[in-house]
A = this chain, B = another copy of it.
Amino acid sequence: MNKEEILLLIMDGNIEISKLKILLSDMNTVDIAEILEYLEKDKFIQMFRVLPKTIASDVFANMDSEHQQSVVEALADTEIGEIINKLFVDDAVDFIEEMPANVVGRVLANVQSEKRKLINQFLQYPDNSAGSIMTAEYISLNENEAVQDAFDTIRKIGQNKETINTCYVIKNDRVLVGEVSARTLMLSNLHDRICDIMNKYPVFSHTTDDREIIADQFKKYDLLAMPVVDKEQRLVGIITVDDIMDVIVQEDTEDMEKMGALKPSDDPYMKSGIFQLAKNRFLWLLVLMLSATITAAIIEGFEESLALMPILVAFIPMLMDTGGNSGCQSSTLIIRGMALGDIRLRDFLRVFWKEIRVALLCGLALAAVNFGRIYIMNGKNILLAVTVSLALVCTVLVAKSAGALLPMLAKRIGIDPAMMAAPVITTIADAASLIMYFTFARLILGL
């Protein structure tokens, strides 16, 4: 039976609870959470209570924060404690960070004291740090124990760990000394010692490391999990690849938003209010609008030329748009290239030289088309066609240079390159292209 059919059965109330329990126990908890979220509130709470105790926490971890809050508000204190105690620390922290203060207080009051201590510790790690995405449910082994002991440990506590695919080897003071995979354990002799079969140089991170750099390491080394240590090299948690996929998606979304002249936001569009959306957009629009004062001043400075030859105005939008689009192409490639590590700051000159040649190729080809068009459509006015085409080549050249260099310059001085994307480049290219256009008009057309 698929998700839709089960959802319909529940909505119609056409199913016995005992039968439903059997159906749900075969399902993925992600799907169960999805089904529950479709229900109306009363029905939703009622169904959540029906869930087998073994999967209730898992389902809870997969719901959005609004539904999590509904659950917590509807359940009794002891029931809340049961659910939260079974959550992995990272899921518990994610949940608590979204809750209002009174809910947080009630939740923490009903959690086992050891778990509460961990949650409070994990809540302290700065946003975007390794600490903020790690969890505490890992398997740690002693370097001197035998493989057989490791199997016994896994058998005893493996059920409640986020992963058993990699186990972490520590010395008595909890200092990380290695890692050993489930594969290695299975392929080893039962009385091999862990320190003889472990990987002594695992890729690890510190609690304060930036999550973006950690994501790069996961990609580079094809990791499934990474141990996190404190300043004294003591193991405090692990990061798993599922959370890293979320990091990659979030970081890319952030970059796209910055490149689109938006203040980045973690909230999904459909759940954001219009005031919040407007706030995330207004500042950039204002800055860019005010910087367009420069172009207005340039045009006013050339008012006499325009009065003598009004047709010149007609080509302003084409020049501006082509400049904007050319710059946007370059900045997109450079910003993304730097984010992926394909382009490094020391490539500065090579990038610049590349962009100049590409700009000349594109600019000359566009100018040729443009020359023909103006010549045919504007009464065979060769001088006008030359003026506009020359301005076009120069515009593409300036826009592409700015599009390549500004993001690299930004990175050099420690600003996010994604801020130097299309909108900023367009504003710069506009001013430059208008000045060149009018200057050529004066020189060539004698205005």
Contacts and interface: CB of A to CB of B under 8 A. Distances in A.
A196 B332 CA distance: 53
Interface stretch (A35-43, A115-123, A257-265): A257-265
B317 A253 contact: no
A15 interface: no
A289 B268 CA distance: 35
A208 interface: no
Contacts of A183: 154, 158, 164-165, 182
Interface string A310-348: 110111111011101110110111101100101100010
A262 B335 CA distance: 14
B262 A220 contact: no
A191 to B, nearest CB: 15
Contacts of A252: 248-249, 252, 256
Given A158-B183, A270-B343, A318 B295 contact: yes
Contact of A325 (B221, B261, B336): B261
A341 to B, nearest CB: 9
A431 to B, nearest CB: 9
A286 interface: yes
A185 to B, nearest CB: 9
A430 interface: yes
A373 B293 contact: yes
Interface string A258-286: 01111000001110001101100110111
A27 interface: yes
B299 A269 contact: no
Nearest to A353: B274
A36 to B, nearest CB: 15
Contact of A262 (B165, B277, B290, B333): B333
Given A186-B154, A289-B318, A329-B262, A350 B257 contact: no
Interface in A425-439: 426-427, 430, 434
Contacts of A275: 361
Task: Please list the 4 inter-chain residue pairs (A to B) with the smallest Cβ-Cβ separation, ordered nearest first.
Answer: A260-B332, A222-B242, A292-B318, A295-B317
